[in-house]
Structure 1
Amino acid sequence: MSGPTDWALDDDEELLIKRSFANRAVRSPLVALTRVRNEAAILLDTLDHVAEFADEIIVYDDASHDGTFDIAWAHPSVAGVVRNRRWRDSMEERLLSETRHRGLLLNIAKQHFAARWFFCFDADERYIGDIRNFVRSSWADRLAAVRVRLFDAYITETDSAPYVEGHSLLNFRKYFGPEYRDIRMLWKDNGTDRYSGLDAREPIVDGDEEVLFYCQHYGKSLSIEQWDATCEYYVKYFPYEPYGKKWAARKGKAVHIRSDFGASLYPWGGELFGRAIPVT
């Protein structure tokens, strides 16, 4: 497998660009990037949600076998898809892939789409805030990047029903942990922005940035089954420290009374934000 800074397509990867988006001369205010695998249950809702503020979306499909590619390719806001046909399952390859796939998408966006801003998202996230108007504002002109404050949603005893395909994921769960991460998800194309290292969610961006928007993260709370599958994924494919040990201890404990960090849970809103605790 290519290294994390090699942005050429591998033999198992194919770039597909829709004719309606190819060779467009107009510079798009915002192009969104995502890497997905077997996200068919939530992907249509995800793409509809992101399309509310993104002008174009580029998807990396990492060897899905559940209809993810068809959903992505059919969506009117998806401009292109990288289709990877071979799943690489070693720990080293998974750590490389986290960075390389996002860097490849960024390189494709710069080569084929005239974006002013980029937004990197995951399928299990929902965003609160007027991102569309921000990237068109004079405020955006003064910043190089924006961090989004992410809170985890939790399954609780009174709210344990699984997510049902076709429903809106935004506000799906009632309770969230107060722990947050400020993740650089939105940044300007300035010629030096790039992905580097292993397991990189955030790009390296030079310049001023602020925390401006919120994110509801459902990676721990789509269903009890999905929780246990997530635990198994990190135990199997990622190093024991810091990933495997933490997730092995969480298996079978999808239903929460308190957060994974031992804090009280709160409904989405002012009390949650007022009690917010930063985590690394």
Structure 2
Amino acid sequence: MTTAGTGTWQVRDTESVIVGNDALLDRPHQLVAMTRMRNEALILPDTLDYLARHVDAIVAYDDASTDETVDLLRAHPKVALIVANREWERDVDARKLAEGRHRGLLLDMARARLPHDWMFCFDPDERVTGDLRAYLRGVDAECDALRVRLFDAYMTTEDQDPYTSDRPLMDFRRFYGPEQRDILMFWRNHEGIGFAEGDGRTPRGMTSVKTDLYCQHYGKSLSVAHWEETCDYYVRHFPYETYGAKWEARKGKAIHTESDFGNALHEWGEGLFANAVAMPVAK
């Protein structure tokens, strides 16, 4: 399989479609997961094993990884299709604009080859808690999409050991910031729901959206070295006024006594949720 052409979006010359487990294709599924990633080999084994407990199949867009990400995707039995991009877009505006096309391409491919009831759009460093299959079976018929409450995990003085790939990421850190971002992660397979270029991770076309479930986000807490790499990444590759300046100021501050927004940290659970501070979500 070398071309997609299954809907609005087309595979480009720099992209190749790789079939993973072809036994997953052309059969009905309750829940399919889609994701974009780049150089996620450290956490990807646990990410895929975590997803395997919840979803029927996975489609992934690899954005020109230089590590073993594609090999790990190909080897996992729940990965059905991979779009492997060979050239990373270095222009900031073009790269942000392309996110909607990447996810739209994955959605087209899933609709064509992996018929499903629900789509789960996730990032590799996120862990939604609870029994996802059971939860979705109980969602009201009129609800066509679901936002999930996401909280950032932090490294602290007593909890700063680096993450290693032989450990589960769920509950890896003890403390979380109370800043709550409601991220649209699940939607029904309705033809009216889809992506336009520039949409990021949030599609358009939903008519009834509810907010429920909780998500641990580990983008700030894998290790001190990863924190510094993240700071450098945003400084070098994102608009300085909106991203770079903020992350430049965070360099050397991986270990936290409070959140990046000056709020007290909480252990995962009802105390955290009761103290949640609503935050805006970038589109």
Smaller-chain TM-score bracket:
over 0.9
Q: Does 1:126 align with 2:130?
A: no
Matches within 5 A, 1:33-182: 33-137=34-138, 139-182=139-182
> Does residue 231 in structure 1 map to residue 231 in structure 2?
yes
Partner in structure 1 of residue 3 of structure 2:
none
Aligned length: 273
CA offset at residue 21 of structure 1? Answer: 2.3
In 1, Cα distance between equivalents of 2:70 and 2:111: 22
Tell me the SS of whatever aligns to 1:255.
coil
Residue 40 of structure 1: how far off its partner (Å): 0.6
Give unpaired runs (5+ residues) of structure 1.
none
Q: What TM-score results when the alignment is normalised by the length of structure 2?
A: 0.92
Residue 238 of structure 1 aligns to which amino acid in structure 2? F
Verify: 1:16 aligned to 2:18, yes or no: yes
Which whole-Å CA distance do the structure 1 matches of 2:233 and 2:98 have between them?
14
Q: Is the 8 A contact 1:42 1:166 kept in 2?
A: no
Measured after TM superposition, the shift of residue 145 of structure 1 is 0.3
Q: Which residue of 1 aligns with 2:4?
A: none
What does 1:235-274 align with in structure 2 at a 5 Å threshold? 235-274=235-274
TM-score normalised by L of structure 1? 0.93
Q: How far off its partner does 1:276 sit?
A: 0.5
Q: What code does the residue aligned with 2:260 have? A: D
Structure 2 distance, partners of 1:148, 1:233, is 26
Would the aligned equivalents of 2:99 and 2:197 in 1 still touch at CA under 8 Å?
A: no
Question: Contact (CA 8 Å) 1:187, 1:205: kept in 2 or not?
Answer: no
| Conserved 8 A contact 1:193-1:206 | yes
2-structure distance, mates of 1:198, 1:111: 23
3-state SS of 1:216 partner: strand
Q: Give, in angstroms, the shift of residue 199 of structure 1.
A: 5.9
Deviation at 1:272, TM superposition (A): 0.4
- Deviation string, structure 1 residues 175-211 (Cα, Å, up to 9, x no partner): 0000010111000111111123536121113211211
- Asked if 2 retains the 8 angstrom alpha-carbon contact of 1:126 and 1:170, the reply is yes
Question: CA contact under 8 A between 1:94 and 1:237: conserved in structure 2?
Answer: no
Match 1:7 to one of 2, 9, 14? 9
Cα distance in 2 for partners of 1:240, 1:157 equals 30
Separation of aligned partners in 1, 2:92 and 2:199: 11
Of 154-163 and 126-135, the range deviating more from structure 2: 126-135
Aligned position for 1:194: 194
Deviations 1:31-67 (A, max 9, x none): 1001111111110100111121111101111111211
Closer, same or farther: CA 239–11 of 1 in aligned 2, 3 Å: same
Between the two proteins, what is the percent identity of the paired residues?
47
Give structure 1 regions of 4+ aligned residues with deviation exceeding 6 angstroms: none
Root-mean-square deviation (CA), in Å? Answer: 1.5
Q: Which 5+ residue runs of structure 2 have no aligned equivalent?
A: 1-6
**1:6 Cα deviation (Å)?**
6.2
Tell me the distance in 1 between the aligned counterparts of 2:135 and 2:223.
34
Aligned to 1:183: 183
**Secondary structure of the corresponding residue to residue 24 of structure 2:** coil
2:177 and 2:254 map into 1 onto residues whose CA distance is 14
Take 2:132 and 2:206, find their aligned partners in 1: how far apart are those partners?
A: 21
